[in-house]
Structure 1
């Protein structure tokens, strides 16, 4: 088993190498380890933290293979990989859960974010979900994951740097300013409640690349009050329900919670909690692939203007509300 980090000098970043992950089960129809009765989880649970059986990061990782050099550095893959089980039901997905249940999920996310942040080796704790075979999901049971990294991921590092530059230049938070811009324009806004705003931002590279952002300037789940956590649970249910309603099919997506780092510089003044969705569908049965220029140059290309796709998702949200028997705002 090879589990290690390899330095990429072109990007000043680290690649996780985890040969154990090739042994993961692929879409099992029976004998699901996350279902009660498997012997691996309690007979009764609502939401549950489960240590990943095939981790890319470990609390006590093996030493790297002796193949590195001064240029090609290696280091142990220190960290933690956890699975967050959303429900004991094998087929119930996030939009099908009750708000009360999703609120318990938000509480578990918060608890794990705080607990993993106590380890001084951890630099960043990322909570995420992959949904659908289109994004490579190998286990259909409803779940998300948490990775605790011993190094700052490159995208987060870039985002933090740009938020800091914006704050130094303007004195304001970049996400707060983006929120104001989207609320003023309105055409890209999908929904809002007392504490959260959902929109497909002006710059997204995915046709339905939704953001959920806190209205108040807070940087992590652990900052939120009980009403804010419930409002987040409501928004998660509504937006994933709207996605499923859009094309009348389970909507694949990658969802990532962006929060402050758990170690290092103080970012309270300029960073802001938000959730980013990366949904690969551009039409009901057509995938928006990341092609050569997008991966090779990070030159994103959205095949649809979001002023076209946001109204479509907004209409799907209103249809979903009607199906749920909820009055439209």
Structure 2
């Protein structure tokens, strides 16, 4: 894989990751006249929960569901420059033009009952392919392997930035999820704090380790593999299963058999194996209702500083689609009290996924 670093017209960084033999050098300049981005994002800590909230009012003006001919994530063409200056690409990463968090965030840090600070961090866009009409599940195993390397590269790079406490690669897919750009892409956030979900998971992992002397994910993985009722797919290095206490009507966790803290810690063999298994999982998810499943795919990995012995890297894929044409809405119990009520039994979902025809030929 060849890695090329460039700069967009407003100073944002863009990185090309080429896996195609003989791919041309990435030297195209961005011809657009773009103003330098002044970011006024802010974080405030809720005194009732201790959780940080990001305020990013400038994102109200971000690009919203453009037609395919005006997609900003497609390669540039003569007379129509996009976010990617090149006429083609394999995988590309660039700083988000409308970031929730930025290295250039401005503003004052203020203590008090509700502390606030500039929304420092970094938000990147990851385009998995130049093909606007495809999806992640239709990529080749070799391309998915490249994306895994890209996730690992960016995890290390963002984690090395001063003030970044957690790196979160994820993909949102589908109108029902709220995706505003349909081009196959994901994002990576570098947060200036450890997220509430991760803090809760680390606390539970620490409690379990003290009580049992073993990592909780290791015991969960062993139990799921021994039982098999909720296992969707297995390979030499990974197992995909529906969690026994699944919150979402469709939810799968993809877990490595070895405890590793983050994506950069995966071996070449584990990365190869993940690419093949994940495509099998996505094919069955799309086969579940014989349609492209709207989903969120979220990597859980260690904070940049500490807790590496407590973290077990894994991928969580979940959907709000509870039937082929019905959505699960977060109502009073979920939104108000964070107590989840699931209409789907995890064992039934796992059986349906195992039986589902894969929509892709991997």
Q: Distance in 1 between matches of 2:175 and 2:107?
A: 33
* In the alignment, structure 1 residue 189 sits paired with structure 2 residue 231: yes
Is the 1:24–1:138 Cα contact (8 Å) retained in structure 2?
A: no
Aligned to 1:61: 105
Q: Distance in 1 between matches of 2:159 and 2:115?
A: 26
Q: Kindly tell me the number of residue pairs found equivalent between the two proteins.
A: 318
- Taking the TM superposition and a 5 Å limit, the aligned residue runs for 1:1-329 are 2-29=40-67, 30-37=69-76, 38-41=81-84, 42-64=86-108, 70-263=112-305, 265-268=306-309, 270-316=310-356, 319-320=357-358, 324=361
Secondary structure in structure 1 of the residue aligned to 2:162: coil
Q: Distance in 1 between matches of 2:150 and 2:213?
A: 34
Q: Displacement, 1:202?
A: 0.2
Q: Distance in 1 between matches of 2:341 and 2:219?
A: 24
Q: Judging by fraction of residues, say which structure has more helix.
A: 1
CA RMSD of aligned residues (A): 1.5
Is the 1:56–1:81 Cα contact (8 Å) retained in structure 2?
A: yes
Which runs of no fewer than 5 residues in structure 2 stay unpaired?
A: 1-38
Which runs of no fewer than 5 residues in structure 1 stay unpaired?
A: none
Is the 2:247–2:342 Cα contact (8 Å) retained in structure 1?
A: yes
Q: Distance in 2 between matches of 1:3 and 1:302?
A: 35
Q: Distance in 2 between matches of 1:237 and 1:69?
A: 47
Deviations 1:100-154 (A, max 9, x none): 0110011101000011111131100001111101111000000000000011111
Compare relative contact order (CA 8 Å, sep 6+) and give the higher one, 1 or 2.
Answer: 1
Q: Distance in 2 between matches of 1:133 and 1:39?
A: 22
Is the 2:165–2:193 Cα contact (8 Å) retained in structure 1?
A: yes
Is the 1:208–1:310 Cα contact (8 Å) retained in structure 2?
A: no
TM-score by length of 1: 0.93
TM-score by length of 2: 0.85
Q: Displacement, 1:69?
A: 6.5
Deviations 1:180-207 (A, max 9, x none): 1111211100001001100001011112
Q: Distance in 2 between matches of 1:244 and 1:278?
A: 12
Is the 2:242–2:253 Cα contact (8 Å) retained in structure 1?
A: yes
